[in-house]
């Protein structure tokens, strides 16, 4: 017998990620005949130092005389990094031995065992294994080690992002302004490869022009002014922050091929439109996060200028003709075996030449006076989202964060695009400095999306779902975890409504274009989407709504997840979902505890998870801030039931348990809505309808 559970304060305290230089107490239970109980650990980031030390026996307590508790106190490294740990011990084992004559006898041998972390267990406990964990950045991480994320002591993220509700907009597809004309759209920045849609409700282009093929250069004429004219609608969703996909001048409609970092695309209205948009957002208490693409530019840009559309000498011409250009050193050129000019590009796309982020002239352009960061922070942006963060050097991201903080009195936000667990992300042969207080404030919650969809689609139980979320919560610094951009859809993944129907994957765009929720599955998929919204609004982090998800827009992969918002043509089901979203975002707006409250899982089984967001006995949130009664409830319990049958739960201040496994959907006392106000502390029984969420708001009595 051997036991350690990292999420149980009996075995590891304090909980979770910890500041550098602080102390953590590690305990484990072992059987009385276990020998040489050893605590094994390694720490570092770009390189690791391996160590082991014997654990100390604690004074025995309780009636169980078959086990011994061991303890070690670990002073965490002074520098931010990662600590991985596991246990080793030796134990006698009786085995049967057969001699040459077939006689069987018993023999005692001493075996060495490793106690390592097991995946998908709610308490963070482990299992016995015959070899130690693998933790090298290029190794298959099995068996698993426990992790302590050691972050910078003074790590602080902007309060404005903690628990904020975010709305993501793909600018060309959200709304045209009231003065729109097709002629203005076509003349704003004419280029021969562009496809213009005069009909807002036409589907996205997937063919391009015959002379060029598909280049993602089709435009519908959405603009910043169009977004501005719909800000009251956006605010009705309880939105605190708008995250805009790229708005800088570019050739494509997605604008991840930046042509001019310092100017808004004329198709979106130019810099004047941004100034007006920013002012209108400010009056409504909405902040703006811009999308920044710094690992590459467009080939059709004033910096590379491959096609000669911009004045001055770009890097391409400078290399080809031996001319001078201030941008030449940003890019890596060479001649291939046929004598043609080639260059490093993003994932091999020649329209997206890579930049050298370590080039000091490029860094001066990004971080210096009147550079990119300086310019956009002065113009009123509240922060940046970094495209493909894992393809940028850590030093570049550190400089980005420091510069943003300098320009915004510490209130600017830096969010990274990281699809995996950012606390232990590996790329380019190394662990990355992503969650240690030096680079990002937080990241996009693709791990949240993956985990949520696995549960909602029925691939994992509520217990496994909870264990995975608890793993992320344990590994992320609290300052980051309360800011993580928890999304269900984005411009890079299929829309959540479509995904609830479990479509068959295909790479053929003609087939992708047809993928949508079948009519017979619309109600089921809409109900599952409600559960997704409830999870976003009830759980820790900054929930992010991708434009159109609030009305159940369909859309599989890019570019079908980037269709236009169907103003004036929203379905009845879409409008019903919109009201549900508004109800839950309003609940979050009115109850600070849902933004920054403490968290505890109350109950899980196959289909049901119940958790609470609460304040401590003194009315303080997770960051020690006092929350007043005027700021809403003292506690909110959230229950999600994805099952086909209703359930009853008994709730009190100590937890929850299922009283009946199943109840009929026709039971009149089953709830599938929000209970608000007037609920006192004390035992109560609630019924939760099939495929529904229930919020129970406790008063201050």
pLDDT at 173: 98
Q: Is the pLDDT of residue 427 over 50?
A: yes
pLDDT at 678: 47
Q: Is residue 386 part of a domain?
A: no
Token pair listed for 147? 């992790």
Q: Is residue 215 part of a domain?
A: yes
pLDDT at 348: 93
Same domain, 139 and 9: yes
Name the average pLDDT for the chain: 93
pLDDT at 61: 60
Asked if the bond preceding 14 is cis, omega within 30° of 0, the reply is yes
Q: How confident is the model at residue 103 (pLDDT cuts 50, 70, 90)?
A: confident
- pLDDT tens for 301-322 read 999 999 999 999 999 999 999 9
300-305, Cβ contacts within 8 angstroms, sequence gap of 24 or more: 300/251, 300/257, 300/259, 300/351, 301/250, 301/257, 301/258, 301/259, 301/260, 302/259, 302/260, 303/327, 303/330, 304/331, 304/353
pLDDT greater at residue 480 or residue 674: 480
pLDDT at 656: 67
What is the domain range of residue 112?
A: 2-151
Same domain, 257 and 182: yes
pLDDT at 648: 84
Question: CATH number, domain at 224?
Answer: 3.20.20.80
Same domain, 109 and 168: no
Q: Is the pLDDT of residue 333 over 90?
A: yes
In terms of Cβ atoms closer than 10 Å to its own Cβ (0-12, 13-18, 19+), residue 78 is exposed
Same domain, 304 and 239: no
Distance CA 599, CA 540 (A): 8
The percentage of residues in the chain with a pLDDT greater than 90, rounded to a whole number, is 86
- pLDDT tens for 463-485 read 999 999 999 999 999 999 999 99
Counting every residue, how long is the chain?
A: 701
Cβ neighbors of 228 (< 8 A, separation 6 or more) are 177, 273, 276, 277, 280, 281
Same domain, 172 and 307: no
Q: Is residue 218 part of a domain?
A: yes
Q: Is residue 285 part of a domain?
A: yes
151-172 mean pLDDT: 98
pLDDT at 437: 97
Q: Is the pLDDT of residue 649 over 90?
A: no
Q: Is the pLDDT of residue 682 over 50?
A: yes
Q: Is the pLDDT of residue 631 over 60?
A: yes
Question: CATH number, domain at 684?
Answer: 2.60.40.1180
Neighbouring-strand partners of residue 114: 88, 129
pLDDT at 300: 97
Same domain, 145 and 7: yes
pTM: 0.95
Domain finish residue from 312, 340, 356:
356
170-192 mean pLDDT: 96
Distance CA 300, CA 140 (A): 40
Q: Is residue 556 part of a domain?
A: no
pLDDT greater at residue 66 or residue 607: 607
pLDDT at 661: 53
Q: Is the pLDDT of residue 168 over 50?
A: yes
Q: Is the pLDDT of residue 41 over 60?
A: yes
Same domain, 141 and 21: yes
Domain finish residue from 126, 151, 176:
151
Q: Is the pLDDT of residue 654 over 70?
A: no
Neighbours of 126 (CB within 10 A): 26
Nearest CA-CA partner of 383 in 364, 362, 365, 408: 408
Distance CA 1, CA 128 (A): 9
Q: Is residue 429 part of a domain?
A: no
How many independent structural domains does the chain possess? 4
Same domain, 179 and 65: no
Q: Is the pLDDT of residue 250 over 90?
A: yes
Q: Is residue 142 part of a domain?
A: yes
142-162 mean pLDDT: 97
Same domain, 139 and 102: yes
State in Å, rounded, how far the first CA of the chain is from the last one.
Answer: 46
Residue pair 246/293 in contact (Cβ under 8 Å)? The answer is: yes
- pLDDT tens for 85-98 read 999 999 887 777 77
pLDDT at 54: 96
Same domain, 679 and 651: yes
Same domain, 147 and 20: yes
157-185 mean pLDDT: 97
Same domain, 220 and 190: yes
Strands 126-129 and 166-169: unpaired
pLDDT at 666: 42
Q: Is residue 178 part of a domain?
A: yes
- pLDDT tens for 207-221 read 999 999 999 999 999
Domain finish residue from 100, 121, 151:
151
Question: CATH number, domain at 137?
Answer: 2.60.40.10
């Amino acid at each position: 017998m051997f036991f350690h559970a990292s999420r149980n304060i009996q075995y590891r305290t304090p909980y979770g990620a910890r500041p550098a230089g602080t102390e953590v107490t590690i305990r484990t239970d072992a059987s009385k005949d276990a020998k040489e109980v050893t605590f094994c650990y390694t720490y570092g980031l770009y390189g690791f130092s391996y160590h082991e030390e014997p654990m100390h026996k604690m004074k025995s307590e309780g009636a169980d005389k078959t086990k011994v508790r061991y303890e070690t106190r670990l002073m965490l490294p002074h520098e931010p990094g990662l600590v991985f740990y596991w246990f080793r011990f030796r134990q006698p084992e009786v085995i049967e031995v057969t001699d040459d004559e077939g006689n069987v006898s018993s023999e005692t041998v001493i075996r060495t065992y490793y106690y390592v972390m097991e995946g998908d267990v709610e308490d963070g406990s482990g299992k016995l294994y015959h070899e130690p964990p693998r933790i090298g950045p290029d190794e298959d991480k099995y068996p698993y080690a426990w992790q302590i994320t050691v972050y910078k002591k003074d790590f602080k993220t902007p309060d404005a992002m903690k628990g904020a509700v975010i709305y993501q907009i793909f600018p060309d597809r959200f709304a045209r302004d009231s003065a729109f004309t097709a002629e203005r759209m076509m003349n704003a920045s004419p280029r021969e490869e562009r496809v213009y849609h005069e009909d807002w409700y036409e589907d996205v282009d997937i063919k391009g022009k015959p002379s060029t093929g598909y280049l993602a250069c089709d435009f519908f004429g959405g603009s910043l002014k169009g977004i501005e004219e719909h800000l009251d609608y956006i605010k009705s969703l309880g939105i605190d922050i708008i995250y805009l996909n790229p708005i800088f001048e570019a050739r494509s409609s997605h604008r991840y091929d930046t042509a001019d970092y310092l100017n808004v695309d004329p198709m979106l209205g130019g810099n004047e439109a941004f100034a007006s948009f920013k002012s209108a957002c400010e009056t409504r208490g909405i902040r703006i996060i811009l999308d920044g693409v710094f690992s590459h530019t467009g080939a059709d840009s004033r910096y590379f200028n491959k096609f000669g559309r911009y004045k001055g000498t770009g890097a391409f011409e400078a290399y080809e003709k031996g001319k001078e250009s201030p941008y030449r050193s940003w890019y890596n050129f060479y001649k291939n075996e046929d004598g043609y000019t080639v260059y490093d590009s993003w994932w091999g796309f020649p329209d997206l030449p890579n930049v050298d982020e370590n080039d000091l002239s490029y860094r001066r352009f990004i971080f210096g006076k009147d550079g990119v960061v300086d310019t956009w922070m002065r113009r009123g942006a509240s922060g940046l989202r970094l495209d493909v963060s894992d393809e940028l050097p850590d030093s570049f991201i550190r400089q980005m964060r420091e510069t943003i903080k300098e320009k915004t009195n510490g209130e600017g936000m830096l969010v990274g695009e990281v699809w995996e667990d950012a606390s232990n992300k590996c790329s380019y042969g190394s662990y990355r400095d992503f969650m240690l207080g030096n680079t990002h404030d937080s990241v996009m919650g693709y791990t949240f999306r993956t985990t949520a969809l696995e549960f909602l689609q029925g691939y994992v139980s509520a217990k496994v779902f909870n264990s995975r979320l608890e793993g992320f919560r344990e590994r992320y610094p609290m300052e980051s975890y309360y800011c993580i951009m928890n999304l269900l859809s984005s411009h890079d993944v299929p829309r959540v409504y479509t995904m609830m129907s479990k479509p068959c994957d295909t790479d053929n765009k003609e087939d992708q274009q047809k993928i949508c929720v079948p009519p017979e599955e619309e109600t089921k998929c809409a109900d599952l989407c409600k559960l997704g919204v409830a999870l976003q609004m009830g759980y820790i982090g900054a929930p992010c709504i991708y434009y159109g998800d609030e009305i159940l827009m369909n859309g599989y992969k890019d570019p079908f997840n980037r269709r236009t918002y169907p103003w004036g043509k929203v379905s009845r089901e879409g409008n019903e979902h919109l009201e549900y979203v508004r109800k839950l975002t309003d609940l979050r707006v009115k109850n600070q505890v849902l933004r920054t409250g403490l968290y505890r899982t109350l109950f899980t089984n196959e289909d049901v998870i119940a958790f609470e967001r609460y304040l401590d006995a003194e009315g303080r949130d997770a960051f020690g801030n006092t929350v007043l009664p005027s700021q809403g409830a003292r506690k909110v319990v959230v229950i999600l039931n994805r099952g086909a049958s209703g359930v009853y739960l008994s709730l009190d201040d100590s937890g929850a348990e299922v009283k009946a496994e199943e109840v009929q959907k026709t039971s009149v006392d089953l709830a599938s809505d929000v209970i608000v106000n007037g609920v006192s502390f004390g035992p109560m029984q609630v019924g939760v309808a099939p495929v529904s969420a229930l919020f129970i708001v406790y008063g201050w009595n």
